Amino acid sequence: MERVKLGIPGLDELLGGGMLPDNVLLVQGAPGTGKTTLGLQFLHYGATELDQPALLVSFEQLAAQIYRDARHFGWSLRELEQAGKFGLASIMPIVLRERLLDSPEVFKEWRPDHGVTRLVIDSVNHLWQVCEDEREARNLLHELVTAVKSEGFIAMMLSELEGEQDGRFEEYLADSVVRLNYEQAPTGQRMRTIEVRKTRGQGHQPGRFAFSLSQRGLQVFARSRAPQRRGPIVKRDLERISTGIGGLDRMLGGGLFAGSSALLAGSVGTGKTLCAMHFLHAGLQRGESGLLVSVEESPERAIAFAQTVGMDLGHWIEAGQLQVVHQVPVAICVDELFWRVEQVVREHQPRRLVLDSISTLFDASGASLPTMVDYVRGLLDFLEHHGITSVLTWGIPEVTGDLRISDIGLSPAVDCIILLRFVETGSEIRRMLGLLKMRGSNHDKELREYAIGDQGIVVESKLVGLSGVLRGSASGTLKQTIEELVQPLTFIRGFTDALQDRDLDDLRRDELLQEMREQTVHVTKLVCEHFDYDYAQIKDVMEPE
């Protein structure tokens, strides 16, 4: 059935596009939660955008105060009134009570005179006060709802509640119920939330969602519901995309899968943000648009740091190919942040996204770990649905010592986990990189050392001969990959001796030469890997057709 838009951004989405035209919507909330503002926004939208004349029935506020409050949001009700598109009826509750009891068509007078389509009654609490008992109040409210529905209004009733107080009889009479809250968050800050508690004849999105009151009225930060993941996805045939770090790509078997998600976990100073910047920059160079979501530090600092290693992200921002969403990590509103991300995704359609850092977001939100994990799962589903490859960073408190990545709670949600770690060996601090998970693909199980220099991150040799590396304090003797070079060089030396045999037949000589070529290629690849050099640049020389 066709829905009627309320004109409250985000609330219409929670209601699946709006409310049914013959339903009555009840808006509940404590004083100061924004009920009257929501009602005025509903009326103003109908009068200005849909040419639906509106009427406000007020039992409490003076007309001058209502007009003044509306002007704060840019709504000129007096101009609409002069144009015949808005009416304000200030009436005593006792008077409306008598008129309802005298005639069930009490609202009919506003239909022919003003052609009123939208109606707001503020608030039904006053009708309880003019009744002698609950039975009389119930009858009066029933007459009110019947009268409103009989005239075909698109109607909204406002009701004041204290805290989590249960609704009274009007909650049962209304077809849909929306509750506004202005409550203290775990961080100590106060937060506005909205919840659709009931709908009759239509579906709605359950749960509480943050909303803001700005100079444009209410904005509800409704989260999109992307199709849920249906289990592990086999991605062997999907496109691989570069992380921007050659050695890491090789460890991943060619790079990340397009549309997948990766978690970069590491302590302070391991290079998580820099690694994420490599990923963004590699995509920008390929013509792929990107989105940087920063809640750790200002985007300016991250961009300036990337500039020092040759990545000019500022250029791509000016070109409109890299978008930035920044949120100060103080009493952060996760609903608002994710809503902003979704708006950028729909408008600019980025192919790569970096969220730096997800651990700061968890800490600043004040929400429980399970709640935040659900938030992030929903975001990852949304990004995967839009074909966006995402990299999230997570700060590990421990610089060295035992750690459990599973404590994060995101391990099952992401497709890839990359661990950046400090390791103490031989009275020296080294940086180590390892892949803990790569869904749908084989990957390098080795732990590799990496360095941060003028060109950013360079993955170097394997950490061979050590144990206890993941605990941050390794034991044993570090063996370099030189051992891997010795064996093929020994083979080559043996081939040269064999080739000096004067009695060697041509067939055997050709076999030895072919084996020597293969070992030469093998050792060359090892050297390229060790020094993070792209073997493809010399492949034609080493392996001529």
Contact assessment for residue 526 and residue 484, using Cβ atoms and an 8 Å cutoff: yes
Predicted pLDDT at 333 = 82
Predicted pLDDT at 78 = 92
Distance CA 275, CA 114 (A): 64
Predicted pLDDT at 539 = 80
Contact assessment for residue 475 and residue 330, using Cβ atoms and an 8 Å cutoff: no
Q: Is the pLDDT of residue 305 over 80?
A: yes
In this prediction, residues 515-532 reach a mean pLDDT of 78
- pLDDT, one tens digit per residue, over 409-422 is 777 889 999 999 88
C-alpha 530, offset from chain centre: 38
Same domain? For 180 and 264 the reply is no
Predicted pLDDT at 230 = 44
Same domain? For 467 and 488 the reply is no
Structural domain tally of the chain?
A: 3
In this prediction, residues 511-521 reach a mean pLDDT of 82
Same domain? For 215 and 256 the reply is no
Would residue 62 count as lying in a domain?
A: yes
- pLDDT, one tens digit per residue, over 350-379 is 999 999 888 888 887 777 778 888 888 888
Better-scored residue on pLDDT, 112 or 172: 172
Among the candidates 476, 494, 521, a domain finishes at: 476
Give residue 531's pLDDT band: very low, low, confident or very high (50, 70, 90).
low
In this prediction, residues 42-52 reach a mean pLDDT of 94
**How confident is the prediction for the chain on average, in pLDDT?**
82
- pLDDT, one tens digit per residue, over 103-123 is 666 666 665 455 788 999 988
Q: Is the pLDDT of residue 483 over 70?
A: no
Predicted pLDDT at 42 = 96
Predicted pLDDT at 71 = 92
Q: Is the pLDDT of residue 403 over 80?
A: no
Predicted pLDDT at 468 = 53
Q: Is the pLDDT of residue 399 over 50?
A: yes
Of the listed ranges 67-76, 95-104, 416-425, the least confidently predicted one is 95-104
Would residue 226 count as lying in a domain?
A: no
Would residue 233 count as lying in a domain?
A: no
Predicted pLDDT at 234 = 44
Q: Is the pLDDT of residue 303 over 50?
A: yes
Would residue 228 count as lying in a domain?
A: no
Which residues constitute the domain of residue 189?
11-220
Helices (H), 185-254: 246-251
Please report, rounded to a whole number, the percentage of residues in the chain having pLDDT higher than 90: 31
Same domain? For 292 and 398 the reply is yes
- pLDDT, one tens digit per residue, over 75-94 is 999 999 999 899 888 888 78
Same domain? For 158 and 126 the reply is yes
Of the listed ranges 159-163, 208-212, 223-227, the least confidently predicted one is 223-227
Quickly tell me which residue has 């409250």 as its tokens: 8
Would residue 231 count as lying in a domain?
A: no
Same domain? For 493 and 469 the reply is no
Q: Is the pLDDT of residue 518 over 90?
A: no
Range 518-526 contact pairs with CB under 8 angstroms and sequence separation of 24 or more: 519/488, 519/491, 519/492, 519/495, 520/488, 520/492, 522/488, 523/485, 523/488, 523/489, 523/492, 526/481, 526/484, 526/485, 526/488
Would residue 386 count as lying in a domain?
A: yes
Under DSSP, the state recorded for 431 is: E
- pLDDT, one tens digit per residue, over 246-300 is 889 988 988 999 999 999 998 888 889 999 999 999 999 999 999 999 987 788 8
Distance CA 63, CA 322 (A): 49
Would residue 423 count as lying in a domain?
A: yes
Give residue 233's pLDDT band: very low, low, confident or very high (50, 70, 90).
very low
**CATH number for the domain including 25?**
3.40.50.300
Letter string b/e over residues 415-441, b meaning 16 or more CB atoms within 10 A of that residue's CB? bbbbbbbbbbbeeeebbbbbbbbbbeb
Distance CA 406, CA 398 (A): 15
